[in-house]
Structure 1
């Protein structure tokens, strides 16, 4: 039964045609933007919006247990679909709870619309103690969003919401927060018919074709490297990037966000190993780098100590992305899919030499990197292999910040399709569970798997009932080592001692069962093999708790990202 039918059955009267409100205008714009799912928590400062969604009837509301989790859910949904994520929170504390998760969406460049209430307009900025009042909510949201906006004139509701939607989706994409004072939400306004009417005149000398000097440089390169980032995924340009890699015989490095830009079983795919010594050496010897939608984040480049070739062609949808972290000799600003397609087409007229010896070298490097890392895993190598064997290739792998995700979940577990890899770009722990719930809402006919540690998992553990309530077949693989494993290892490496990293945790099996999950604790890699195959066939949410003390240690302890310990050792400035 639809929500509209439920309303009729319950005798709810729809007065929307008689009393069209700002809340109705907001919902109309969401529907126009193609929104079918929204996440959030109902409050006295957003009830008119919730009621308008109920009356309109086409948007499914997912009820989170906390505002932070709601934002993460909208984030995960947007990353899997490539569409706008929508989250609705309350004002003040509610908006504040959303802030950390908005930082993650901003760091990852996720198109997200955050609708939040505000105190009644006469009391804005007065400090009089209106319920849920925040001293300067707009500035707080500006600090953690791509942009923060406030509806200041009720009659402008449609125009302002549409502007927020467009801004969130325009490169560089990111979360846009929109405040709507509570008294405005119920304000009766005319139903404005708003139409975009922009006539674009073709630019003279537009970059319809790749310039000849760039094509010549690319065609002559003997040791080309492509560095693929999240911009490839955002532009839906994975096929074009793979074709260019094949055409050039190029090695392909991927950033964490760029995993899935090229299938990771491709013989030319180095993958997410940019900061490893052997990859650094390959880059030193390269005669051309083509970077596509790459941020060159500090933690992925040993804080920009990775050296890149002087011949560097940077492709980015964001003007400010050019030369932000690494200088380039040529910058191409625009849609990566279009630019890469032009490269592929125009290079067909050029004499691009085959590079059998270079491709063999690249393949050898990729195999060496993986073999060396595998040798550090100990019993977790089998766990990783059992996961890949049991799960379909279109499984969405979500990784919270935990040792196993850092070591092999982000490098050795092969991602074979775009939009099937999600991680915490901002590095914050505990966001994995709600992000995975949002991803599973977007991919109900596929499997979504979360890798998490016990410390981070407890941050948003209250969202487990949301997965059960929505009947999601989510699989949680919880690596339980009794604390913050990543920080424990970094502390030990930096100081030779540990503090504040050991945690008392609940019985995760009983906890999972009480929250509607099928739950099991495993004590060996062989037990894991049995349970992951069961979970892969189940339609119920499942949590598999990996008892890391029983399974045993890794062959080589994880010491943190390259250079992590050095950053914390005492030193003179």
Structure 2
């Protein structure tokens, strides 16, 4: 074997050099005959930690969770054809959530691209498949340009609106010997930004004049690291603060002005009808969070977003401020501090009352699970990262009543796909090894990526899985019952999850009461080992009110004329 210094510099080395230049510390994926040169180059370079997943879908979710929890670029490496296809669904989730992620995938040898000759792992049109799942997908067409192409892909992933970018590298190009060049000038890991925020005086005056203002904060606040500015603006103006699911943590949820993720509640809708100004910051206004855009908003709407195309996409705005949320909010605060702003104490008191009202309404539906949410918040550290798969308990109270105090400590499935929670939690724990990471999942979705438990054990990650086992797809079961009065294809045979978890090197226990749950959660937090708590939902008992899905879900599926 040649010594490292004698090995020729290749395209794979150029790719890894750019990853290191961008500050990449970890990469997730599965080694393959169509990415092996890249893996070998990472091994030889030595500074990037490789995490071996059990499936490409899980690998992308891990890179996604890592990026969301740390704010860094997520990197995933997959194979060609079927391997890239396995990654596509999870890339859609990263795209829906606006996660900065670089997906490196192999391709068949350049001479066989598009020939249909049956080259191993060949896909009819892999680039189009990746393009449909990502912010963008590009193919390396000249090995000598690899450094520039990789850097541009990373820049695109990190540029607002952020998102996943796929880079295809044909297998024969990966081992191609090229010249080692240095790219000077534009870098991809810069921390200093030049503020270009322009604030029209009209926007400032509307804020000063408003007497019942509301801020709607989204994931863009967190992506821009603008949480402190958001809270300060809210306090200057005395606004109510509604958050999207992605915006949880943009303001501490114990703040008296934080309504939280309750936009579609009737009490909140009534409140919004009487508001005189909406300030939206980095929020997408997703259909399932706005009753498919039936939540009313004030006519006066100042929209702040880094994405030019977000303006007027779902709700019309009277003023659109396009730019980095941190810059925009800082500039607004500076201008407002120069003026006389009156925050009406009676309005702030009304906001506080609404905050308490919507929480009380939700608590009344929980039955025995009220002890679960209170126990979790009491036991877990304030900076615990809570990851929620799509399951009843996560949707009902995990996303609303479990208070989030810091940015990047709340992660959920933005695209609504089940089963991605486990690998996402693993990625989050990999990126934040000193923090507590807790996954809330249901038995139906959990089985989709169950093999990734071994990845967590292999990396000795102390992730805590709280698995709600009702032997079925609980959300769909309730929606079907509400829509049709009957159920189909939602009942599942559960394995013995405790034995399954123990076989994958997890400490595991099955519980059937709130008291048991609180006791076992304390133990899991303290042991700092991969742990699973299986919640026997039949033993715990039903919620006081069944969850029928997002508002209007059941009605949407009833027969009707178009």
Q: TM-score, normalised by structure 1?
A: 0.96
CA-CA distance at 1:193 after TM superposition: 1.3
Q: What 5-or-longer segments of structure 1 have no aligned partner?
A: 1-11, 199-205
CA 1:16–1:505 in structure 2 vs 1: closer, same or farther (change >3 Å)? Answer: farther
1:232 is matched with which residue? 221
Counterpart check, 1:177 vs 2:166: yes
Q: Is the 8 A contact 1:14 1:55 kept in 2?
A: no
**Alpha-carbon distance in structure 2 between the residues aligned to 1:70 and 1:518:** 23
1:361 is matched with which residue? 350
Counterpart check, 1:427 vs 2:416: yes
Out of 138, 152, 157, the position equivalent to 2:127 is 138
Q: Which runs of structure 1 show a deviation greater than 3 angstroms over 4 or more consecutive aligned residues?
A: 12-18, 206-209
Counterpart check, 1:502 vs 2:494: no
1:116 is matched with which residue? 105
CA-CA distance at 1:565 after TM superposition: 0.5
1:50 is matched with which residue? 39
**Alpha-carbon distance in structure 2 between the residues aligned to 1:152 and 1:196:** 23
Counterpart check, 1:348 vs 2:337: yes
**SS of residue matched to 1:379:** helix
Number of residues paired by the alignment? Answer: 555
Q: Is the 8 A contact 2:197 2:323 kept in 1?
A: no
Q: Is the 8 A contact 1:16 1:24 kept in 2?
A: no
Q: Is the 8 A contact 1:264 1:414 kept in 2?
A: yes
**Alpha-carbon distance in structure 2 between the residues aligned to 1:85 and 1:416:** 24
1:6 is matched with which residue? none
Q: Is the 8 A contact 2:94 2:164 kept in 1?
A: yes
CA-CA distance at 1:315 after TM superposition: 0.3
Q: Is the 8 A contact 1:87 1:115 kept in 2?
A: yes
Out of 211, 235, 252, the position equivalent to 1:263 is 252
1:304 is matched with which residue? 293
CA-CA distance at 1:349 after TM superposition: 1.5
CA-CA distance at 1:207 after TM superposition: 6.0
**Alpha-carbon distance in structure 2 between the residues aligned to 1:83 and 1:571:** 46
Out of 122, 131, 137, the position equivalent to 1:148 is 137
**Alpha-carbon distance in structure 2 between the residues aligned to 1:111 and 1:207:** 22
Q: Provide, for residues 170-222 of structure 1, a one-character-per-residue CA deviation record: whole Å limited to 9, x for no partner.
A: 11110000000000000000001111259xxxxxxx96552222111101110
**SS of residue matched to 2:480:** helix
Task: Judge which range, 233-242 or 351-360, deviates more.
Answer: 351-360
1:188 is matched with which residue? 177
**Alpha-carbon distance in structure 2 between the residues aligned to 1:134 and 1:209:** 47
CA-CA distance at 1:16 after TM superposition: 5.4
**Alpha-carbon distance in structure 2 between the residues aligned to 1:309 and 1:448:** 38
1:3 is matched with which residue? none
1:276 is matched with which residue? 265
- Aligned pairs for 1:195-234 (under 5 A) are 195-196=184-185, 208-234=197-223
**SS of residue matched to 1:476:** strand
Q: Provide, for residues 528-555 of structure 1, a one-character-per-residue CA deviation record: whole Å limited to 9, x for no partner.
A: 1100111111110100000000000000
CA-CA distance at 1:15 after TM superposition: 3.9
Q: Is the 8 A contact 2:211 2:343 kept in 1?
A: no
Counterpart check, 1:543 vs 2:499: no
1:28 is matched with which residue? 17
CA 1:560–1:22 in structure 2 vs 1: closer, same or farther (change >3 Å)? Answer: same
**Alpha-carbon distance in structure 2 between the residues aligned to 1:481 and 1:463:** 21
**Alpha-carbon distance in structure 1 between the residues aligned to 2:521 and 2:3:** 48
Counterpart check, 1:469 vs 2:458: yes
Q: Is the 8 A contact 1:512 1:543 kept in 2?
A: yes
Q: Is the 8 A contact 1:473 1:542 kept in 2?
A: yes
**Alpha-carbon distance in structure 2 between the residues aligned to 1:469 and 1:428:** 26
**SS of residue matched to 2:89:** helix
Out of 533, 537, 541, the position equivalent to 2:522 is 533
**SS of residue matched to 1:351:** coil
2:284 is matched with which residue? 295
Out of 372, 381, 384, the position equivalent to 2:373 is 384
**Alpha-carbon distance in structure 1 between the residues aligned to 2:354 and 2:6:** 66
Q: Is the 8 A contact 1:289 1:309 kept in 2?
A: yes
1:487 is matched with which residue? 476
1:76 is matched with which residue? 65
Counterpart check, 1:102 vs 2:94: no
Q: TM-score, normalised by structure 2?
A: 0.98
Q: Provide, for residues 459-505 of structure 1, a one-character-per-residue CA deviation record: whole Å limited to 9, x for no partner.
A: 00000000000001100000000000000000000000000000011
**Alpha-carbon distance in structure 2 between the residues aligned to 1:522 and 1:197:** 55
2:192 is matched with which residue? none
Q: Is the 8 A contact 2:197 2:324 kept in 1?
A: no
CA-CA distance at 1:18 after TM superposition: 4.5
CA-CA distance at 1:348 after TM superposition: 1.0
Out of 426, 435, 441, the position equivalent to 1:446 is 435
2:153 is matched with which residue? 164
Q: What 5-or-longer segments of structure 2 have no aligned partner?
A: 188-194
Q: Is the 8 A contact 1:233 1:419 kept in 2?
A: yes
1:9 is matched with which residue? none
CA 1:370–1:171 in structure 2 vs 1: closer, same or farther (change >3 Å)? Answer: same
**Alpha-carbon distance in structure 1 between the residues aligned to 2:490 and 2:513:** 24
**Alpha-carbon distance in structure 2 between the residues aligned to 1:43 and 1:318:** 37
Q: Provide, for residues 119-176 of structure 1, a one-character-per-residue CA deviation record: whole Å limited to 9, x for no partner.
A: 0000000000000000000000000000000000110000000010001111111000
**Alpha-carbon distance in structure 2 between the residues aligned to 1:277 and 1:136:** 47
**Alpha-carbon distance in structure 2 between the residues aligned to 1:58 and 1:118:** 25
1:372 is matched with which residue? 361
Q: Is the 8 A contact 1:518 1:540 kept in 2?
A: yes
